[in-house]
Structure formats: C-alpha cells, structure tokens
C-alpha cells in the first residue's frame, strides 16, 4: 500500500504563520475561522500568484510553523504500519529546504519526498491512497477512482461525496486504510466542484 501524504494543512499548520504575517503587515485580525473558502484570499485582494508566493515565503519561518496535531510524529508512525508513506507536496524549490527541516525537527518519518509543480499533478502519481486538505486536489484524485482522504479544514467543508472520506485526525487514516472497501465502497460520484475552478495545493 503506497500512501501520498500532504504537508501544508495536513502535517503543518502553515496558514497560522501566513495569517500572522498578513495581520501584522495589514494591521488586521484575520483568523483561521475566516478561511472558509479554498480561495479566501481573493476577498483580500490577492491573486493566486501573490498568495502562494507569500505562503512559500512563510516557510522561511519554519520554526514558527506548528504541527496540525500535538502528536503528529506518532500519528505518522502509525500510518506507516499500514503502508509505505511518501511526502507528496506541491512545492517550489525555495521552500523545499525549510519543509525538510521542519519534517526533521518534528521527527516525522517518511520513505520518500516527492514535490510536484501543481497540486492537480498529484492525481497522476502512482499511489493507492492520498491524504490531502485541498478540495480541488482531493476531488481530482477521487475522480480518477483513487482512494482520497480529505483532512478536515475550514476551507474544504463544501466537499461531501461518496468518493471522498473525511478525517479529522491523521490517526483516523489508519482505520480507513485498514478497511478500504467498507469505507469507500465502489461508488465514485464526483460533484461538479471542479467546474470553473483552478487547482492549487
């Protein structure tokens, strides 16, 4: 069993650092509860290039990036009991070194580190299970008939279909992967969420 594990929004709470940067720069008080859409940044006057450049730059503060869960190292170790876990992330070269430092610092073990240019590229990779927080990525993955686990975040609450299993903690993925036929069944009815959308990680 090959498992593709995302970083931003699944392992690392990078949006915490981005919000801190945004609020200090703009004298605002935006919080995570305000990020209820995947492209929430549009309402702030950002385009996707500016937002993702800023998000990438936030990784230079990797020591300030909190893990999504307190025992994230233990959770990833348990995940390895049901498959081979690779880090699979949409990543530019500039932030890769910081991400790897963060993974090492938080004692997160993995088999391989795979970076793609675009989030939608993940769906073409040879993995049995994908764990991701992006509603666009996860719907694209599920539309290929692959097992898609959606890590619960404010910006992905619109996703509700039979081809996706939502998890609130990484440890829940172990139970899901251990019993894939029961959790997923054979139905992969994908809503028209991708219509008119653009993918991002």
| Number of helical (H) and strand (E) elements in the chain, helices listed first | 7, 6
Q: What distances in angstroms separate CA 167 from CA 20, 82, 113, one per listed residue? A: 26, 16, 23
Q: What pLDDT score was predicted for residue 162?
A: 79
* CATH code for the structural domain at 2-12+67-191: 3.40.50.1000
Q: Report yes or no: 1 and 129 within 8 Å, Cβ to Cβ.
A: yes
Q: What pLDDT score was predicted for residue 188?
A: 37
Q: 64 or 179: whose pLDDT is higher?
A: 64
Q: Is the pLDDT of residue 174 over 90?
A: yes
Q: How far is CA 85 from the centre of its chain?
A: 14
Q: Is the pLDDT of residue 191 over 60?
A: no
pLDDT above 70 covers a percentage of the chain that reads 90
* Intervals of CATH 3.40.50.1000 along the chain: 2-12+67-191
Q: Express each pLDDT in 120-135 by its tens digit.
A: 999 999 999 999 999 9
CB under 8 A, 24+ apart: contacts of 44-52: 48/198, 48/200, 52/200
Q: Is the pLDDT of residue 14 over 80?
A: yes
Q: How far is CA 124 from the centre of its chain?
A: 16
pTM listed for this prediction: 0.89
Mean pLDDT of 10-39: 96
pLDDT bin (cut points 50, 70, 90) of residue 194 is very low
Q: Report the DSSP beta bridge partners of residue 147.
A: 129
Mean pLDDT of the chain: 91
């Amino acid at each position: 069993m090959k498992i593709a594990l995302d970083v931003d929004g699944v392992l690392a709470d990078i949006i915490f650092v981005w919000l801190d940067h945004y609020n200090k720069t703009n004298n605002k008080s935006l919080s995570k509860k305000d990020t209820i859409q995947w492209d929430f940044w549009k309402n702030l006057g950002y385009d996707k290039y500016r937002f993702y450049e800023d998000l990438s730059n936030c990784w230079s503060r990797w020591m300030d990036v909190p893990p999504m869960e307190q025992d994230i190292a233990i959770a990833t170790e348990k995940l390895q009991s049901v498959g081979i876990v690779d880090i699979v992330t949409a990543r530019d070269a500039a932030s890769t070194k910081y991400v790897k430092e963060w993974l090492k610092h938080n004692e997160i073990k993995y088999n391989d580190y795979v970076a793609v240019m675009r989030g939608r590229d993940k769906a073409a990779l040879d993995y049995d299970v994908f764990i991701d927080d992006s509603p666009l990525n996860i719907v694209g993955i599920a539309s290929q008939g692959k097992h898609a686990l959606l890590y619960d975040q404010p910006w992905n609450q619109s996703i509700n279909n039979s081809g996706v299993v939502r998890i609130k903690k990484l440890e829940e993925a172990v139970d899901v992967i251990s019993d894939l036929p029961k959790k997923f069944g054979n139905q992969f009815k994908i809503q028209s969420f991708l219509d008119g959308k653009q993918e991002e990680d």
